[in-house]
């Protein structure tokens, strides 16, 4: 949801020569992790819903979440819940199909898709 960071992150992706499909797989993995954590919290009640902080502490203690990811995952989990999370997962799946069918434009397609996701997150 940090729209201001999009141009710099997309530029960094190009500079580092990151594989668009590999990056998308990492994003899909994070979305799946968020979905699993959201399921443990149960249905979202309004904006935050459930005790995200307590869940994250328990997941770190059980070593199911890496301690360095605790803060970011907690923030993402507070934002991506319910229908928003469902739409994120659907968008990731659609983004995955696009570069596979048009590999020449994979970087552009991924950049556009990530910008759409960030705009949705910021809304």
Render pLDDT for 96-109 as a digit per residue (tens, 0 to 9): 887 667 677 888 88
Burial of 60 (0-12, 13-18, 19+ CB in 10 A): middle
Looking up tokens 């199909």, which residue turns up? 97
User: pLDDT band for position 2 (50/70/90)?
Assistant: low
**pTM for the full model?**
0.80
Spatial separation of the C-alpha atoms in residues 41 and 58, rounded to whole Å: 12
Residue 89 has pLDDT above 80, yes or no: yes
């Amino acid at each position: 949801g940090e729209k201001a960071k999009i141009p710099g992150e997309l530029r960094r992706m190009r500079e580092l020569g990151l594989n668009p499909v590999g990056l998308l797989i990492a994003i899909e993995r994070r979305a799946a992790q968020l979905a699993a954590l959201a399921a443990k919290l149960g249905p979202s009640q309004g904006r935050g819903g459930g005790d995200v902080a307590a869940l994250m502490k328990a997941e770190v203690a059980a070593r199911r979440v890496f301690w360095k990811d605790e803060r970011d995952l907690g923030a993402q989990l507070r934002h991506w819940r319910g229908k928003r999370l469902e739409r994120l997962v659907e968008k990731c799946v659609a983004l995955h199909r696009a570069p596979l069918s048009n590999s020449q434009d994979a970087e552009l397609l991924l950049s556009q898709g990530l910008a759409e996701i960030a705009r949705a997150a910021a809304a």
